């Protein structure tokens, strides 16, 4: 987890969920994104702070430090190691929220191919994923990028995948974004205060999501009605 996202709402919908009074710079546009099948290395709308200003920018999903050019840029970071490991040391202070509508996982159910599932919030609200990375301030840079922080799955979701994003409530997401929040406090939030499994639902979707060229609302519809 997680290797594919949906981000079909627009920045204003995501920011409204955060309820932040800060001034804002939005370089992502005002229209819904309508991205139903977002793959790694894609430019994803990301929320982060620049001083007291909230920024919404399109940032590459994937990041690595400058000295790690000999390896692929990871798209996720394990919460158990991210705060103290050397790989993400420079990115850890740069906190962001990746606001998404859902994410996909593939499950081996004994068939010829793995079955894709969509995971989303039961209440239909945006999902506020804790993220870190390197972000644009004025002009985008080639080494900008971000990773989503992941934790062990709990409860029933382990049947879909053993890892999932650290999802924060709007209140905690505001604290996560606040540069005044100590790094130690941010680590505790990521480790222990992510949204519980009960907040989410998941269901089978079409195998067409496996092809990143496929886009459309049909990719997020249940494969069949639940009995």
The residues annotated with a catalytic role in the active site are 2, 105
* Three-class SS state of 152: strand
Note the residue count of the chain: 227
Q: Please provide the DSSP assignment of 105-155 as one string.
A: EEE--SSSSPEEEEEEETT-PPEEEEEEEE--SSS--TT-EEEEEEEE--G
- Cβ 197 vs Cβ 155: under 8 Å: yes
Q: Are β-strands 43-50 and 35-38 bridged in parallel, bridged antiparallel, or unpaired?
A: unpaired
Contacting residues for 15 by C-beta, under 8 A, at least 6 apart: 24, 47, 54, 56
- Cβ 7 vs Cβ 44: under 8 Å: yes
């Amino acid at each position: 987890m997680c290797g594919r996202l949906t981000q079909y709402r627009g920045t204003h919908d995501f920011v409204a969920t955060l309820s932040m009074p800060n001034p804002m710079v939005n370089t992502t546009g005002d229209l819904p994104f309508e991205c139903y099948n977002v793959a790694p290395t894609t430019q994803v709308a990301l929320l982060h702070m620049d001083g007291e200003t909230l920024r919404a920018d399109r940032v590459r999903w994937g990041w690595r430090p400058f000295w790690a050019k000999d390896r692929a840029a990871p798209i996720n970071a394990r919460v158990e190691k991210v705060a103290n490991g050397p790989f993400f040391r420079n990115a850890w202070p740069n906190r962001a929220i990746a606001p998404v509508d859902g994410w996909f996982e593939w499950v081996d159910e004994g068939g010829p191919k793995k079955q894709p599932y969509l995971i989303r919030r039961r209440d239909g609200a945006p999902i506020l994923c804790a993220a870190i990375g390197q972000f644009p301030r004025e002009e985008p840079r080639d080494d900008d990028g971000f990773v989503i922080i992941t934790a062990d799955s709990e409860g029933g979701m382990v049947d879909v995948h053993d890892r999932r994003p650290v999802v924060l409530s709007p209140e905690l997401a505001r604290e996560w974004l606040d540069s005044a929040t100590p790094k130690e406090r941010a680590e505790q939030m990521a480790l222990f205060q992510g949204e519980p499994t009960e907040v989410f639902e998941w269901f089978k979707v079409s195998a067409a999501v496996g092809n990143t060229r496929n886009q459309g609302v049909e990719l997020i519809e249940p494969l069949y009605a639940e009995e």
